[in-house]
């Protein structure tokens, strides 16, 4: 795979709205997010972890609609569009894999919208943290349910469409319920089952063959037995 390696600092714009890139960005280290400027605060519309190609759609729709922003220091590989086009033409299996990557982005976006529209602040934050944990586990970066946080509490507010003050209170409530610990830049999930139940989290939309962690369905028999 031909690539040029790029290093970016926190809050750097990796790809800017209105750009027409000739490469896609393969995230190697750190976190990236798509951001849009709102009236009162910047809105985060998706979050990406190592292994993601967040701008794969730019092969077909080259003009970017949002800014691709670094959360903390990141390392990316810029891979020419022509490479993906050649792969798409030469291998049916890889063409399907690339299609599934783009479909997963669509599914994640729909779930993101649902999260904002139908859940209260506590469940929104819980769901976002569940998703992030599962995605990081899938690439070997959330061992023991502990990982480096991509968020400040202001970032968390922007991702969940709540105020920074509300985000702070929500984190304190999750701590009070002993569902997680958030120390400096490290998040540790201390009660995965409780967090997944609170969020109503099901990872089907992530397109993983086998989710690395139990989900809400796995706790239903125990809950039913307890109620009986």
| Under 8 Å between Cβ of 145 and 189 | yes
Phi-psi region of 195 (alpha: psi -120 to 50; beta: other; left: phi over 0): alpha
- What span, in angstroms and rounded, lies between the C-alpha atoms of 120 and 107? 21
pLDDT value of residue 211: 62
Phi-psi region of 17 (alpha: psi -120 to 50; beta: other; left: phi over 0): beta
- What span, in angstroms and rounded, lies between the C-alpha atoms of 151 and 157? 9
Positions in the chain short of pLDDT 50: 219-228
22-34 pLDDT, tens digit per residue, is 999 999 999 999 9
Contacts of residue 144, Cβ cutoff 8 Å, sequence gap at least 6:
188
pLDDT value of residue 222: 36
pLDDT value of residue 79: 97
Helix (H, G, I), strand (E, B) or coil at 118: helix
DSSP state of 162: S
- Domains of the chain, with CATH numbers? 1-118 (2.60.120.10), 120-218 (1.10.10.10)
pLDDT value of residue 228: 34
């Amino acid at each position: 795979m031909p690539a040029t390696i790029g290093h970016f600092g926190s809050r750097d714009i990796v790809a800017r709205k209105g750009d027409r890139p000739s490469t896609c960005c393969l995230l190697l280290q750190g976190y990236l997010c798509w951001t849009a400027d709102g009236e009162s605060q910047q809105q985060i519309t998706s979050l990406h972890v190592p292994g993601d190609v967040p701008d794969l759609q730019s092969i077909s729709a080259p003009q970017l609609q949002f800014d691709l922003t670094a959360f903390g220091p990141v390392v990316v590989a810029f891979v020419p569009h022509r490479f993906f086009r050649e792969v798409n033409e030469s291998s049916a299996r890889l063409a399907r894999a690339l299609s599934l990557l783009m479909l997963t982005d669509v599914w994640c976006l729909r779930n993101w919208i649902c999260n904002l529209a139908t859940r209260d602040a506590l469940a929104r934050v819980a769901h976002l943290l569940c998703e992030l944990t599962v995605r990081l586990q899938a690439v070997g970066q959330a061992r023991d349910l502990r990982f480096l946080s991509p968020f400040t509490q202001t970032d968390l507010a922007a991702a969940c469409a709540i105020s920074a003050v509300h985000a702070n209170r929500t984190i304190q409530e999750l701590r009070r319920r002993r569902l997680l610990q958030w120390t400096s830049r490290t998040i540790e999930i201390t009660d995965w089952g409780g967090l997944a139940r609170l969020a109503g989290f099901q990872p089907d939309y992530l397109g993983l063959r086998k989710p690395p962690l139990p989900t809400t369905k796995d706790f239903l028999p125990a809950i039913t037995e307890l109620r009986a």
